[in-house]
Chain A
Amino acid sequence: MEMEAHTDRLSLAFAALADPTRRAILARLASGEADVSELMKPFALSQPTISKHLMVLERAGLVVRGRDAQRRPRTLVAVPLKEVADWVEPFRRFWERKLSSLDDYLKVMQKKK
């Protein structure tokens, strides 16, 4: 989604981080620079799609493009992103719901005994 109306950096950064694929790209870049073909590998996405995501990340100032004319590797800019905590959210929710379901079921189990 194009966010042309938002010109301030913070809004661009929030918009960039709002997408789980882009968060995963950032996670990958946290381990070291990578070019587009390397970034395509972990996601079953086409090159144009990855490039579009990278463009959003670059416009938000989270990623910079390297000078190697052939590879154009992307590097993560040292923005103080919060720890793994934020990216854990879907995982956390997934298990929280399961164990909450177990909690409800245990109550039913005990009523029957």
Chain B
Amino acid sequence: MNNAGEFSVTTPTDRQIVMTRSFDAPRELVFEAWTKAEHVAQWWDPSGVPLTVCEIDLRVGGTFRWINIINGMESPFTGTYREIVPPERLVFSSGPESAATLIFSESSGKTTLKMILECASKEDRDALLQMRVDAGAARTLENLAAYLQQIG
């Protein structure tokens, strides 16, 4: 188990990215932070700006949509829930190319979060690692941000 605060990224296979981080909190709370819109809206953007859109339909087959329109630098994060097992496991697909499995394990009041991103191919995995944002989506967000500034 990591010490709280240690963050690691590894690529154990050609198609995976695995990230691990520990938190000084019980896993019920960490799970809740990931699955309740009022919480996600507060922490998803590291700059501290609450999300403009934060929708969560927490059921198998339900979707989530997390968008920071003001920023415009980041693509919307959206997906569909595949497995929901509070407080230990959350699985969702995000785009056709990848699925994310979040495993929450607790020991002595500290939670270790393991995120396994599984891609359809090595190319998709590498594209994810290289942060290749869809150029169209990025431009749309920029335009929207500029428009909102004009009318705001």
Contact = CB atoms under 8 A, between A and B. Distances in A.
A14 interface: no
Contact of A84 (B11, B46, B131): B11
B129 A95 contact: no
Contact of B126 (A27, A94, A104): A27
Contacts of A101: 43-46, 48
Contacts of B33: 102, 105-106, 109
Given A88-B9, A106-B33, A109-B25, A98 B132 contact: no
Interface stretch (B16-24, B55-63, B84-92, B141-149): B16-24
A105 B127 CA distance: 30
A96 B20 CA distance: 10
Interface residues of A, number: 29
A90 B131 contact: yes
Contacts of A95: 7, 9, 19
B63 to A, nearest CB: 20
Interface string A20-41: 1001100100010000000000
A45 to B, nearest CB: 9
A44 interface: yes
B131 A94 contact: yes
A87 B33 CA distance: 30
A44 B136 CA distance: 9
Nearest to A44: B135
Given A91-B131, A95-B19, 12 more contacts: A42-B127, A88-B11, A91-B129, A97-B46, A98-B43, A99-B7, A101-B44, A101-B46, A103-B4, A103-B21, A103-B24, A105-B43
26 contacts: A20-B130, A23-B130, A31-B123, A44-B135, A84-B11, A88-B11, A88-B129, A90-B131, A91-B9, A91-B128, A91-B129, A91-B131, A92-B9, A94-B131, A95-B19, A97-B46, A98-B44, A99-B113, A102-B23, A102-B30, A102-B33, A102-B43, A105-B42, A106-B29, A107-B24, A109-B33
**Pairs A-B, 3 closest by C-beta atoms:** A105-B43, A97-B46, A101-B46
Interface of A: 20, 23-24, 27, 31, 42, 44, 84, 87-88, 90-92, 94-107, 109-110
